[in-house]
Amino acid sequence: MAEHKRRRVCVVVHSRANYGRIKSVLAAIREHPALELKLVVGASALLYRFGNVREVIERDGFVVDATVYTIVEGETPTTMAKSTGLAIMELATIFENLKPDIVLTVADRFETMATAVAASYMNIPLAHTQGGEVTGSIDESVRHAITKLAHLHFPATDHSARNVIAMGETAESVFMTGCPSIDAIAEIDLALPTDLFDRYKGVGPQLDPAKPYLVVLQHPVTTEYGAGTEQIEETLAAVHGTGMQAAWLWPNVDAGSDDISKGLRMFRETHHDAPIHFYRNFSVEDYARLIANCACLVGNSSSALREGAFLGVPAVNIGTRQSAREHAENVMHAGYDRSEIAAAMERQIAHGRYGRSTLFGNGDAGRKIADALAAAPMRVQKQLTFR
């Protein structure tokens, strides 16, 4: 490929989480003399109920080259599959018209899979971040499948890099860069803005930035589809039981999200005065400030393990979604059980902030990835390589 003077790198941002994990790379590509950025925004990043991530992106100064709606509504396993198919179809047209030399895709979501499949069949070299990590949920299968489609790998940890190579990828295609999510937060002022809870509108009683607070973010586990309402009720009981105020983020768009939202809404109806405020989204930096200053981060977001490690956030990880993922000492695990969760939260709140871990990087991933994108040899034919 590489028909253009500068290598044209197309990045597809699908969700708020996605964006935080790739923002520093977008900036590094944009500024790299040998690279040209094409930015596509799709999926839940376009939806109001996920907080208009597209607007956040544009406020950050990025030009959006194309938008594409790809979520088939339902939040069931069937619609997750259909959303993947729809995204492949439309991304193919977008790639056909934007003519990228490289497509860069983030992590392991269904939109990531769609990006990877579209690029692969179109003979566009595919670069991939976060390969080689081990988790739960369908993400686990999808992440490794994408590794088998990708031509350039940017794993976030040494262990992940070894896993990518062990799966049969050539060592020359693997660049251990750390996770770009760390870049975005490595050099910012992490103090909690006193107006943070005012600036973001959500539902529920106002939070007091002067008092300790919890942050909760629990997504559905697609491979445990149907159990979401029950699972979230355990977390709600544990969080509510602390009596502490909490900033709670609505779950992502995966299958089963409806079940979790339903649990949250039922709780709201019967607990109007519970000191829990529900948010749709924060900017990447404000989210970092939010968790950097919380008493405990609860749920199953990978941010507890990634950004949380770097920021030393006391975290309780619930259930199987992240249970197998590499993590630093800041994370304690709990099952889907209110007393287990409560006990872990109690210990973490008592412990307070942990020391910084650079397990997932130290803040220069964006630049390293941009350099590799500019310099790496491009080929589309892959081959399984076992020594």
* Residues 209 to 248 in contact with its own copies, rule: CB under 8 A: 222-223, 225
Q: Is 137 in the site for its own copies (CB under 8 A)?
A: yes
User: In the bound complex, what is the minimum distance in angstroms from residue 31's beta carbon to its own copies?
Assistant: 25
Structural contact between residues 142 and 336, judged by C-beta atoms closer than 8 angstroms: no
- What end-to-end distance do the CA atoms of the chain give, in Å? 29
The DSSP string of 81-123 is HHHHHHHHHHHHHHHHHH--SEEEEETT-HHHHHHHHHHHHTT
Q: Which two tokens stand for residue 94?
A: 């977008």
Query: With CB under 8 A as the contact rule, which of the stretches 20-28, 106-114, 233-241, 310-318 interacts with its own copies?
Result: 106-114
User: In the bound complex, what is the minimum distance in angstroms from residue 270's beta carbon to its own copies?
Assistant: 10
Task: Report the residue from 34, 59, 96, 172 that binds its own copies according to the rule CB under 8 A.
Answer: 96
Task: Report the residue from 136, 180, 228, 275 that binds its own copies according to the rule CB under 8 A.
Answer: 136
Q: Which two tokens stand for residue 27?
A: 């900036």
What letter represents residue 190's amino acid? L
Q: How far apart are CA 56 and CA 43, in angstroms?
A: 15
The nearer residue to its own copies, 277 or 289, going by C-beta atoms, is 277
Q: How far apart are CA 197 and CA 218, in angstroms?
A: 20
Q: Is 2 in the site for its own copies (CB under 8 A)?
A: no
Binding flags for its own copies, 260-289, as an x/- string (CB under 8 A): --x--x--xx--x-----------------
- Residues 305-334 within binding reach of its own copies (CB under 8 A): 320, 324
Q: How far apart are CA 70 and CA 83, in angstroms?
A: 6
User: In the bound complex, what is the minimum distance in angstroms from residue 202's beta carbon to its own copies?
Assistant: 9
Q: Is 200 in the site for its own copies (CB under 8 A)?
A: no
What letter represents residue 163's amino acid? N
Q: Is 152 in the site for its own copies (CB under 8 A)?
A: no
Q: Which two tokens stand for residue 307?
A: 């950004």
Q: Is 351 in the site for its own copies (CB under 8 A)?
A: no
Count other C-beta atoms under 10 Å from residue 123's C-beta: 9
User: In the bound complex, what is the minimum distance in angstroms from residue 106's beta carbon to its own copies?
Assistant: 17
Structural contact between residues 226 and 256, judged by C-beta atoms closer than 8 angstroms: yes
The nearer residue to its own copies, 133 or 183, going by C-beta atoms, is 133
The nearer residue to its own copies, 102 or 119, going by C-beta atoms, is 119
